[in-house]
Structure 1
Amino acid sequence: MSTVVGQRTVGEVMTGEVVLARPDTSFEELARLLVGHRISGLPVVDDDGKVMGVVSRTDLTGHRAGHGQDGPARRATVPTLRQPAGTRSLAGASPKAGELMTSPAVTVHPEQRVVDAARIMERRHIDRLPVVDEEDRLVGIATRRDLLRVFLRSDREILADVTCAVSGPSPAADRIEGLRIDVRDGMVTMTGSPEPAHDVAALIRAAWRVDGVVGVVNRLTARSGSDR
């Protein structure tokens, strides 16, 4: 029998600790957050934790450019705001995140597939996606790096990790008697007849959870207690 197990979900690869802003977060504080955490954008949430929009470095530089700054002044927009907390911009009233954000935000749900989230990023030309629950409350962030970690792994790396995941850290090459594991383009194929003591469904689940695995083909056959 050949059964392909579903692909990895966003909830499995997302980052749970999110740098975020409120609608009244100032331009200066937004810049400090982006620079200090070395990120390209962050979600803006309301008092209920619902995502209202996203503010990016492009939004900040675009605002300054739209107010007549160019050349060195424009290029220094974000770096110059590494000044100590409490200092104010000399350019006048500071815009808030609610004015600068792009809204509505492009979001994904934890149960969506990683491959679908990657396609959204590519189509929308964005590097991060807020992850929300069914009520649009923020539960995490999925970055392009998070998603690429799943795909950019060699079959040899994946095989080593799958073997370890299903059998434990034994140095033996074939750690479960009667089980063979092959990996091609991220697709794991499990064949053979392992001992009855091994839970086939658990083996499949363990393989599927390894980073880089896009599916698992189950070609395992049950071995009866009399097969010796």
Structure 2
Amino acid sequence: MTVADVMTTKVVTVTAATPFKDIAEALISGGISAVPVIDDGGHVLGMVSEADLLRKEEFREEFYREGYRPPLRARLRHPKGRQKAEGDTAAELMTSPAVTISSGASAVSAARLMDAHDVKRLAVVDDNGRLVGIVSRRDLVKLFLRADEEIATEVRDDILDRRLWVNTDGIQVGVRQGVVTLSGWMERRTEAAIAVRMTGRVNGVVDVVDELNWKTDDSRWEGM
């Protein structure tokens, strides 16, 4: 499964000059948590999230209540946050550069990139850096909502019967809540390991329980 299979293509966007209130309205009316900031050519400049907007109110409450102005030491402690708290346009509020990914990348790569950068969404761009969609954590979670019957069918028809060029008639496939159990037998131990590994890559599979037996242990060369 690639990013193109799960991403949202109808994306709410703003420009660098979009004011604070218009960004907030776009988030609320669109029911979204962030918007990409693009230029006239559709290239992604950055991303503005709810967290970026909330900093404004947080800093007002923390530092400017009743006309209080914080000492220099306190202001320097949160330089980026303070800058965003004082921002009035997308260019001043956005996180830049935005974390991006190509539509042809795997969904797993998207998940790892989100985790590495601690973000909830990625801008999907083409080879020229132009926005083509958005992929979020929610989009990726949907991959695990496939019905057990659908997962079992793909494991049997696509993995065991089509991709593995060996006899798989002795394998039974069971799926419960996304957890696949492979039981039965195969000719070689290495073939059983491949079957388990490939099953784990099927979309919607939460885990694989390996209960396979084998007739020949070919995992080590004779004489070694």
TM-score in same-fold range (> 0.5): yes
Match for residue 26 of structure 1 among 19, 25, 37: 19
3-state SS of paired residue (1:126): coil
Indicate if the aligned counterparts of 1:17 and 1:140 stay in contact, CA closer than 8 A. yes
Q: Please say if residues 87 and 93 of structure 2, whose CA atoms lie closer than 8 Å, have aligned partners that are also in contact.
A: no
Q: Does residue 69 in structure 1 map to residue 61 in structure 2? A: yes
Report the AA paired with residue 53 of structure 1.
Answer: G
Task: Please say if residues 28 and 94 of structure 1, whose CA atoms lie closer than 8 Å, have aligned partners that are also in contact.
Answer: no
SS of the counterpart of 1:64?
helix
Paired positions, count: 157
Higher helix share: 2
Matched with 1:40 is 33
Structure richer in strand, relative to its length: 2
Kept in 1: contact 2:14–2:36 (CA 8 A): yes
Name 1:16's counterpart in structure 2.
9
After superposing on structure 2, the runs of 4+ consecutive aligned residues of structure 1 that deviate more than 4 Å are: 180-187
Structural mapping, 1:97-116, within 5 Å: 97-116=90-109
> How far off its partner does 1:212 sit?
2.7
TM-score by length of 2: 0.58
Verify: 1:138 aligned to 2:131, yes or no: yes
Aligned residue number for residue 156 of structure 1: 149
Tell me, yes or no, if structure 1 residue 212 matches structure 2 residue 204. yes
2 CA distance for matches of 1:23 and 1:114?
29
Question: Deviation per CA, 1:18-63, whole angstroms, max 9, x where unpaired?
Answer: 1111111110011011111221111100000000000001101113
1:99-119 CA-to-partner distances (Å, cap 9, x unmatched) read: 100000001101111011111
Superposition deviation, residue 157 in structure 1 = 4.0
What amino acid sits opposite 1:117 in the alignment? Answer: A
Q: How many angstroms apart in 2 are the aligned matches of 1:58 and 1:94?
A: 13
Distance 1:125 1:186 in 2: 27
Partner Cα separation in structure 2 for residue 38 and residue 183 of structure 1: 38
Matching of residue 127 in structure 1 with residue 120 in structure 2: yes
**RMSD, aligned CA:** 3.8
- Tell me if structure 2 keeps the 8 A contact 1:44–1:97: yes
Question: Structure 1 residue 186: deviation in Å?
Answer: 7.7
Helix, strand or coil at the partner of 2:97:
coil
- The 1:35–1:94 alpha-carbon spacing in structure 2 relative to 1, beyond 3 Å, is same
Q: How does 1:40-59 map to 2 (within 5 A)?
A: 40-59=33-52
Distance 1:107 1:183, change over 3 A: farther
Cα gap change, 1:105/1:155 in structure 2, threshold over 3 Å: closer, same or farther? same
Unaligned stretches of 5+ in structure 1? 1-7, 74-92, 167-177, 190-209, 215-228
